[in-house]
Amino acid sequence: MIIPVKITEKAEAEIKNIMTTKNIPEDYFLRVGVKGGGCGGMAYALGFDKPKEDDQQVEIAGIPVLIEKKHFMFLMGMVIDFFDGEEARGFTFVNPDIPKRHDQ
């Protein structure tokens, strides 16, 4: 099976930390998906959930992951990372195939 996303070591550690410290039930998976566009394009989503009928179940870096079949094409090549800086903290979705704009 093709796994559309990668999870960096920092993101893996933070996801596993959340699963432990927030007492996520063992029958829940990490759900990776997209939310509809609008002006800004796609918004990416992470959360914990039980499997649903249209989900693909994969394991990434030892983490059980759910992805809706219709989201696969939007997630191909995406890398989930975790940023922990002085002013901001959180998960980021990076597509290494898309060059960054110079004004970002």
Q: What is the CATH number of the domain that holds 89?
A: 2.60.300.12
How many beta carbons lie within 10 A of that of residue 101, not counting itself?
6
Does residue 58 form part of some domain? yes
Instruction: Decide if pLDDT at 101 tops 60.
Output: no
> For residue 56, what are the contacts with CB-CB under 8 A and spacing of at least 6?
1, 66, 67, 68, 69, 72
pLDDT at 92: 93
**81 contacts 73 by C-beta, under 8 angstroms:** no
> For residue 43, what are the contacts with CB-CB under 8 A and spacing of at least 6?
34, 35, 36, 37
Token pair for 27: 């029958």
pLDDT at 37: 63
The total number of structural domains that make up the chain: 1
- SS3 letters across 63-92: EEEEEEHHHHHHHCCEEEEEEECCCCEEEE
Does residue 102 form part of some domain? no
Does residue 99 form part of some domain? no
Does residue 100 form part of some domain? no
Q: What's the pTM?
A: 0.85
Does residue 104 form part of some domain? no
Does residue 81 form part of some domain? yes
Does residue 37 form part of some domain? yes
What is the β-pairing status of strands 63-68 and 78-84? unpaired
Does residue 15 form part of some domain? yes
pLDDT at 103: 47
Instruction: Decide if pLDDT at 102 tops 60.
Output: no
Q: Is the dihedral of CA 28, 32, 17, 90 positive or negative?
A: negative
Banded model confidence at residue 97, pLDDT cuts 50, 70, 90 = confident
pLDDT in tens, 34-78: 987 656 677 899 999 999 999 999 999 899 999 999 998 889 999
pLDDT in tens, 8-31: 999 999 999 999 999 999 999 999
Domain that holds residue 50: 5-21+28-94
